């Protein structure tokens, strides 16, 4: 008989859940450390009770850096089969979660398909879906309609939901006194800000946060508290509105933990390299070491078409200094809905960033595949290199596309191969 309400409640009671057993199989953390981190809130294990085929994955202190893949349809590009293909690719390429951001069509049917077939965590933004579901303008949504959508997503088995509960009236005023170059770039943040201003009311998810916690506790949903005022350009990074909202996110975190509801904190955004470490440490301090989920950060604004690279640079540095969860960015960011090829590039860029950070953070075993690669390269063992590569298929294609005269080397150096020369001198 189940004797706990949520994963956090189980951890506080010293109970190892089936999902925790999954985590212990894939991480090097000890059972004691996992329970301690989850009880304290520094580790989150999103696992909705209705997501039956979920394999538990945890995010936070002492764990490997995780990668999320965003997908979903829009009015202009509404092909649910294509999005399911992206989800399958995400799982095949070892992403740890999928977020459905669909804003058109039969979103519930698609969401239910995702939950039914995906073994990884599923996240959503109910604020978007409320507009799609009701067909109303954002400012015409009622309080009941906001929460009805959350309840629907809970019943559908969504493991974590992004809710921009920290965008209060006080924070909105901060935007007026601290003008921004790009204003509000968060879709959820912009929708709620419009609702608040046009209705002259407080953020419904802030004012009725306990009602949100009721739903999350009953279904064991992790709240990913959204950063409605994340900077949308380098000029706006680390400004007063962003920090004002972050302080509120920290307050909401403690309220959620008191109800045994798990929390992640979402973070920027567009941040210059020299401000990333400060942003990570500030979040951890103000939000009591809750797991940090970042979009990027993107370290320059002028590389559309290459933002998977600008994001990977920022993501590696962010994860080295405290970020726990990287939301992938594709080459299509800021330009269009990503295609399958964009999704692959985005996943690989984020996985590389996450792995680089795990090595820098001294995660036990993180460097093991790199050591295997170094050994295979010195032995001129091409098959061994492919086996340990993050993307064996691409590595094989490149190798096959340009064959050398001597099969042990490559066409970059040929007879001038330093490794072959060294082996001939040292080993022969």
pLDDT tens digits in sequence order for the chain, 428 residues long: 789 999 999 999 999 999 999 999 999 999 999 999 999 999 999 999 999 999 999 999 999 999 999 999 999 999 999 999 999 999 999 999 999 999 999 999 999 999 999 999 999 999 999 999 999 999 999 999 999 999 999 999 999 999 999 999 999 999 989 999 999 999 999 999 999 999 999 999 999 999 999 999 999 999 999 999 999 999 999 999 999 999 999 999 999 999 999 999 999 999 999 999 999 999 999 999 999 999 999 999 999 999 999 999 999 999 999 999 999 999 999 999 999 999 999 999 999 999 999 999 999 999 999 999 999 999 999 999 999 999 999 999 999 999 999 999 999 999 999 999 999 898 86
Are 86 and 146 contained in the same domain? yes
Are 345 and 375 contained in the same domain? no
Are 235 and 90 contained in the same domain? yes
> Annotation-wise, does 70 bind a ligand?
yes
Are 84 and 190 contained in the same domain? yes
> Annotation-wise, does 180 bind a ligand?
no
> Annotation-wise, does 417 bind a ligand?
yes
Are 330 and 382 contained in the same domain? no
Alpha helices (runs of H) in 55-163, residue ranges in sequence order: 80-92, 107-117, 126-134, 143-156
Are 129 and 175 contained in the same domain? yes
79 assigned to some structural domain: yes
pTM to 2 decimals?
A: 0.96
> Annotation-wise, does 38 bind a ligand?
no
53 assigned to some structural domain: no
> Annotation-wise, does 384 bind a ligand?
no
Are 327 and 421 contained in the same domain? no
> Annotation-wise, does 414 bind a ligand?
no
- The answer to whether 340 touches 302, Cβ cutoff 8 Å, is no
Res 428: pLDDT: 64
- Residue span of the structural domain in which 249 resides: 69-360
Res 2: pLDDT: 84
Are 334 and 389 contained in the same domain? no
Of 310, 339, 360, the last residue of a domain is 360
Q: Could you read off the pLDDT of 158-193 as tens digits, one per residue?
A: 999 999 999 999 999 999 899 999 999 999 999 999
> Annotation-wise, does 128 bind a ligand?
yes
> Annotation-wise, does 176 bind a ligand?
no
For 343: left if phi > 0, alpha if psi spans -120 to 50, otherwise beta; the answer is alpha
Of 319, 343, 360, the last residue of a domain is 360
What is the Cα–Cα distance from 308 to 210, expressed in whole angstroms? 37
> Annotation-wise, does 123 bind a ligand?
no
26 assigned to some structural domain: no
Write the CATH number for 220.
3.20.20.540
**DSSP-based three-state secondary structure for 75:** coil
> Annotation-wise, does 396 bind a ligand?
no
Res 182: pLDDT: 97
Of 340, 360, 380, the last residue of a domain is 360
Are 145 and 292 contained in the same domain? yes
What is the Cα–Cα distance from 163 to 213, expressed in whole angstroms? 11
**DSSP-based three-state secondary structure for 121:** strand
412 assigned to some structural domain: yes
51 assigned to some structural domain: no
Pairing of strands 66-71, 325-327: parallel
> Annotation-wise, does 164 bind a ligand?
yes
> Annotation-wise, does 230 bind a ligand?
yes
- The answer to whether 350 touches 331, Cβ cutoff 8 Å, is no
> Annotation-wise, does 4 bind a ligand?
no
Backbone dihedral angles phi then psi of residue 44, each to the nearest 5 degrees: -120, 145
Look at the block and give the residue holding tokens 């400004």.
239
- The answer to whether 73 touches 103, Cβ cutoff 8 Å, is yes
15 assigned to some structural domain: no
21 assigned to some structural domain: no
Are 237 and 327 contained in the same domain? yes
Are 265 and 398 contained in the same domain? no
- Per the structure, the count of domains in the chain is 2
Are 314 and 417 contained in the same domain? no
324 assigned to some structural domain: yes
Helices and strands (DSSP H and E) totals, the chain: 19, 10
């Amino acid at each position: 008989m189940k004797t706990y309400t949520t994963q956090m409640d189980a951890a506080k009671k010293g109970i190892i859940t089936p999902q925790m057993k999954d985590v212990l199989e894939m991480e090097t953390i000890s059972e004691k450390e996992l329970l301690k981190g989850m009880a304290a809130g520094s580790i989150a294990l999103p696992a909705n009770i209705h997501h039956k085929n979920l394999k538990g994955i945890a995010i936070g202190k002492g764990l490997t850096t995780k990668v999320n893949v965003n997908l979903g349809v829009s009015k202009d590009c509404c092909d649910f089969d294509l999005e399911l293909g992206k989800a399958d690719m995400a799982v095949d390429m070892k992403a740890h979660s999928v977020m459905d951001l669909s804003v058109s069509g039969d979103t519930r049917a698609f969401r239910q398909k995702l939950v039914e077939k995906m073994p990884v965590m599923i996240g959503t933004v109910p604020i978007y879906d409320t507009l799609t579901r009701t067909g109303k303008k954002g400012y015409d949504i009622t309080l009941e309609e906001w929460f009805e959508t959350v309840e629907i997503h809970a019943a559908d088995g969504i493991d974590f939901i992004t809710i921009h509960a920290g965008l209060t009236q006080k924070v909105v005023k901060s935007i007026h006194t601290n003008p921004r170059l790009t204003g509000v770039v968060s879709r959820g943040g912009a929708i709620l800000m419009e609702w608040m201003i046009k209705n002259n009311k407080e953020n419904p998810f802030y004012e009725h946060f306990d009602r949100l916690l009721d739903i999350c506790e009953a279904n064991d949903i992790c709240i990913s508290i959204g950063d409605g005022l994340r900077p949308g350009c380098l000029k706006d990074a680390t400004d007063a509105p962003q920090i004002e909202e972050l302080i509120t996110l920290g307050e909401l975190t403690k309220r959620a933990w008191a109800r045994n509801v798990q929390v992640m904190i979402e973070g920027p955004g567009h941040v210059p390299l020299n401000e990333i470490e400060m942003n990570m440490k500030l979040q951890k301090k103000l939000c009591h070491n809750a797991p940090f989920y970042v979009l990027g950060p993107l370290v320059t604004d002028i590389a559309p078409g290459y933002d998977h690279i600008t994001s990977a640079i920022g993501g590696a540095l962010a994860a080295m200094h405290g970020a726990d969860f990287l939301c992938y960015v594709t080459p299509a960011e800021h330009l269009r809905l990503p295609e399958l090829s964009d999704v692959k590039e985005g996943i690989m860029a984020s996985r590389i960033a996450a792995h680089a950070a795990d090595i820098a953070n001294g995660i036990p075993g993180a460097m093991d595949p790199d050591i295997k690669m170094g050994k295979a390269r010195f032995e001129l063992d091409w098959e061994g290199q492919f086996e340990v590569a993050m993307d064996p298929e691409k590595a094989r294609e490149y190798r096959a596309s340009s064959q050398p005269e001597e099969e042990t080397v490559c066409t970059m150096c040929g007879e001038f191969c330093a490794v072959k020369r060294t082996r001939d001198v040292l080993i022969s």
